[in-house]
Each structure stands twice: as C-alpha cells, then as structure tokens.
Chain A
Amino acid sequence: MLSILWEVIARGAPQLSLGFLLNNNSNGGIGPAIQGTLILIGLTSLIGIPVGILSGIYLAEFGNNKYATTLRSINDILTEFPSIVVGITAYGVIVIAIIGSYSAIAGAIALSFILIPIVARTTEESLKLVPNSVREASLALGAHKWRTTLSVVLPTAKAGLLTGTLLAVARIAGETAPLIMTILGNRYFFQGLNQPMAALPLEIWRDSLQPQASMQAHGWGAALILILMVLSLNIIVRLASRGRLKR
C-alpha cells in the first residue's frame, strides 16, 4: 500500500496547483471532476444517510419480528452486491426508464444503494452495543420507547454511528463502476441533476487510458486528490473516535 501511495504522490504531486484544482479540463485542470465528486458525495449522503440510519434504528430497536429479520437479510445481501451490478440496475431503471439520460441524480441513487446497507448495518451494530441497562433505566422512568431511542440510545451510540457513516462515505467516494453507467463523466462543470457529470474516479480512469503522457500525468494528479480526500475522511474518523476514548 505504501508503494502505491508513494507512486501516486510522486507522479501526482507535480500536477498540483490552484489552477489544477479549479480549472476545467480545457485549461488543464480537474475542477469539474472535483466538483462532481463533491456533489455526488453530498447528494448520496443526503439520500442515503437518513435512510440508512433510520433502517439501522428500526432493526436494532424495534426489530424483533419477522419483517425485521427479512429486512436484515436483504440488507446483508445488498452489502455484498457487486457495485457494477448496482450500476447496471441504476442504468436500466433510472437512466433509461425514468430520466432518459445519464444523470447526476442517477449516480447519486446508485451510490446510495451501496451506502445505505453499510450505514444501516453499522448503525444497527452501534446501537446494539449500547447496553440494555441504559434502555431499561430510561423505560423504568416512564419514557416512551421512541423517546428512549432518540434521547438516550442514539446519543450513547453517537461515536459508532459517526464512524460507520464516515467510513461508508469514504467508501463510496472512490466507487467507479456505478458511475460509468449513471453519470457517464464529462469535462464540464455541473449542468443539472438530470445531466451527465464529471467525477474523480471517472477522470482517473479515462485519463489513464489516454496515450498522451500529459493526460496520464493529469490522471495521477486526480488520483492524488481522490486519495487525499479519502485519507482525510479516515483521519477525521480516527481523530473523532480517539477524542471520545480520551473522555
């Protein structure tokens, strides 16, 4: 892993400049790709995190019945789904049937399908780690179950939830396959939810296939940026959990 990292830094670092980060492709920059990835992360989080967390809460706190067991099984299967299959499905359902073109929103939905099962599972696990004695203490005071979950269990599981969510986001930031079939990738800044969009993974992939050395160097630069984004998310997670442990 270190050699990969070194390789990326060595080849990508020379590309870095403010212009590189902000300009569009005609001016030698990867601005659209960065913007695209950020928009994707934002949209996906907006859709996926609430759904994932609510599912996780349902499974952990209210899930003693057969519906929950079924849901859990489905969830487990979804976490193992190859991302390209998610991409193809999104292509068929959203790109073709609903919107009619490659679109940013299709990409966001596809990535949500990867994000939600992960967030649901880590949420459920974090909540299950909260000792039952804490729930009982709240219930014995005469608090309703939903109040207990909201005001006592969730805050207690906060750290785990945060970690799980951030890690899931870091994961989808680098997904490439679903993007190929949903947002297609282009060299323009954001043009609308129902339009194709650029993204870092796609940029890297396309650039690496080009014969020109300058394009390949371009790709290394993009790769470096992407790795930096993912690494910083991981570092944030690590710092956040260490802070909690200290207390």
Chain B
Amino acid sequence: MTSTNTLQEQTIDLEMKMQSIDVNAWFGQKQALKNINIGIKGNSVTAIIGPSGCGKSTFIRCLNRMHELTPNAKMTGQILLDGQNIYDKQIDPVQVRRRVGMVFQKPNPFPTMSIYDNVAAGLRLTGTKKGKNLDEIVKRSLERATLWDEVKDDLNKPGTSISGGQQQRLCIARAIALQPEVILMDEPCSALDPIATAKIERLVVELKRDYTVAIVTHNMQQASRVSDFTAFLYLGSLIEFGTTTDIFESPKNPLTEKYITGEFG
C-alpha cells in the first residue's frame, strides 16, 4: 500500500511543535512502527486514528519517551520538540515528560491521594513546587479542566471517590498543573459514558488555545469532531495525513476511505 505523506519528508519544519522523522519502533523483534513522518502543529488538535494494533498508542508513547519504559522496546529515528530531538544523548527523558504530558485510557488518579494532592502531585513529585502557590495552581488547573465547580468543596476527598468522567478530568488537571507544552491523550474517553465523553471533547477543543494536543482515538466521529489534523495509521505505517476536513470529506488513499467509511471488517 502506498503512503501518502502530505508533509515535507525528512526536513525540519519549524512551524511544527513536534515532528517525527523516520520513526521506527519495535517490541523485541516485532516492528510496531514503520517510518512514521508526522508533524504536529502547535496550538492545534491532531488526531491519530486506525484499527486496533496499528501502532497509534505506540507512536504517541514515543512522543513523551514512555515507549522506552517497556522492556525490550526499541526506537529509531528522531522526534523533535521545538526543533530539538528529544532522543539526543544529553536530553533527560524526565525533563521531556515534564514538557509533554499524558492522559491515559483508563483514568488513573493516585489512589492514596486526595483530589487536591492529586493535582499538586506533579509539582511535588518533580520537585518543582518551590516558590509556587499550590492552592492557586490547583484551583486554576481544576478550573481549566472544568472540574473546579464540581469538587471545590471536596478537595480533601480521595481522588478515587469521584465518577469516572470526573476522574479523567482530574487526570487532565493533574497534567495541566505542570504547565506542559504538549498534552498527549491515549483514547481518553474509551472508558467513559457519552455525557462524560462530550465534556472531555469540549475540553480538548478548548485546550488547544494554550497547549498542543495529540489524541489517539478509535472513534472516528470523535476524531472528526475535535481535531484539526488527522493521521491514519495501519499496521504500523502512516497511510495518510492531512486536515481533518480533507480526510473526512475526500481522503486521497483508498485504504483511508475504506477505513473511515466502515468498510473494514
């Protein structure tokens, strides 16, 4: 199958907040990603879609150097953040993860911490809370995550005492508290009901004002609702990448067309 890269391949595009250049990834002997070249534009939402096992989660975990935490995981190629390769020898992966935050598929607030402590956790765990007004940061992050009104009187309750949708917004607040530049979301709504999903989708669209968002989703309608750009991955390869309008109105690659119109088995 042919790859339809609509991006300048292998040249650094400074307009892009993040850029993957010839990224290949393996789990042991199994190759999960083949030559991925994607640019993620700043202050926009980029969706990554594709059937199960196509490598979309693997790709996004390369963007914040979480992929390498899996035993036997390997990656080649470059991933640029503001033009600099985050895999350079002198770059500390821990620092990368403070600039590129992540929200996971299943909400995972810290079970032994209260709501307040969960939001403040990022600052405490990374030792960056010096000289900062935690109360203010917690409030601001919860407001930004549209959770403040619902929990402002219960900040000392355990982080796990709220509903699934609220927990996910708590995780978003926790990620935001560190003021990352990029927020990665790995199927953030899969475990949620439609109303909670709608709230988070609205939040995602709002977040792009201040952050760059990359979201993995297996729900195509969600991708078409929230994203500005869409990348379609299949069996580890990038099949097509373009504006969401183009992809969903007139995709160039017949495989893309098949996938988004539901002709895949």
- Report which of A133, A134, A137, A143 forms a contact with B94, defined as CB distance below 8 A: A143
Tell me if B111 and A142 are in contact (CB < 8 A).
no
A186 within 8 A of B: no
Q: Within the assembled complex, what's the spacing in Å between the Cα atoms of A156 and B127?
A: 20
Tell me if A141 and B175 are in contact (CB < 8 A).
yes
A112-154: which have CB < 8 Å to B? 131, 133-134, 136-144, 147-148, 151-152
Residues of A near B126 (CB, < 8 A) are 141-143, 147
B121 within 8 A of A: yes
Tell me if B125 and A156 are in contact (CB < 8 A).
no
Assess A142 versus B97: contact at CB under 8 Å? Given A134-B110, A137-B110, A158-B112. Answer: yes
Tell me if A141 and B101 are in contact (CB < 8 A).
yes
CB-nearest residue of chain B relative to A148? B125
Tell me if B178 and A133 are in contact (CB < 8 A).
no
Tell me if A138 and B110 are in contact (CB < 8 A).
yes
Tell me if A156 and B112 are in contact (CB < 8 A).
yes
A64 within 8 A of B: yes
Range, interface on chain B: 20 to 34
Q: Within the assembled complex, what's the spacing in Å between the Cα atoms of A247 and B71?
A: 35
Residues of B near A247 (CB, < 8 A) are 158
A50 within 8 A of B: no
- Report which of B97, B106, B112, B158 forms a contact with A140, defined as CB distance below 8 A: B97
Tell me if A142 and B124 are in contact (CB < 8 A).
no
Range, interface on chain A: 20 to 34
Q: How far is the CB of A193 from chain B (nearest CB, A)?
A: 38
B174 within 8 A of A: yes
A42 within 8 A of B: no
Most buried by B among A137, A148, A151: A137
Query: When each residue 212-247 of chain A gets 1 if its CB lies under 8 Å from chain B and 0 otherwise, what string results?
Result: 000000000000000000000000000000000001
Query: When each residue 60-93 of chain A gets 1 if its CB lies under 8 Å from chain B and 0 otherwise, what string results?
Result: 0000100000000000000000000000000000
Residues of A near B94 (CB, < 8 A) are 142-144
Assess A141 versus B97: contact at CB under 8 Å? Given A64-B71, A136-B66, A151-B124. Answer: yes
Residues of B near A151 (CB, < 8 A) are 124-125
Assess A139 versus B97: contact at CB under 8 Å? Given A156-B111, A158-B112. Answer: yes
Query: When each residue 62-97 of chain B gets 1 if its CB lies under 8 Å from chain A and 0 otherwise, what string results?
Result: 001010010100000000000000000000001111
Tell me if A141 and B178 are in contact (CB < 8 A).
yes
Residues of B near A147 (CB, < 8 A) are 125-127
B171 within 8 A of A: yes
Query: When each residue 156-187 of chain A gets 1 if its CB lies under 8 Å from chain B and 0 otherwise, what string results?
Result: 10100000000000000000000000000000
Q: How far is the CB of A156 from chain B (nearest CB, A)?
A: 5
Q: How far is the CB of A42 from chain B (nearest CB, A)?
A: 29
A14 within 8 A of B: no
Tell me if B110 and A133 are in contact (CB < 8 A).
no
Q: Within the assembled complex, what's the spacing in Å between the Cα atoms of A148 and B121?
A: 11
Tell me if A137 and B104 are in contact (CB < 8 A).
yes
Q: How far is the CB of B265 from chain A (nearest CB, A)?
A: 31
Q: A136-B69, A138-B121, A139-B66 are in contact. List 11 more A-B contacts (CB 8 A).
A: A131-B108, A133-B104, A136-B66, A137-B104, A137-B108, A137-B171, A141-B98, A141-B121, A141-B174, A141-B175, A143-B125
Q: Which residues of A are interface residues toward B (Cβ below 8 A)?
A: 64, 131, 133-134, 136-144, 147-148, 151-152, 155-156, 158, 247
Interchain Cβ contacts under 8 Å between A and B, 15 examples: A131-B108, A133-B106, A137-B108, A138-B121, A138-B125, A139-B69, A140-B97, A140-B101, A140-B175, A141-B174, A141-B175, A143-B125, A147-B127, A152-B112, A158-B112
The 5 closest A-B pairs by CB, nearest first: A142-B98, A143-B125, A142-B97, A140-B102, A133-B108
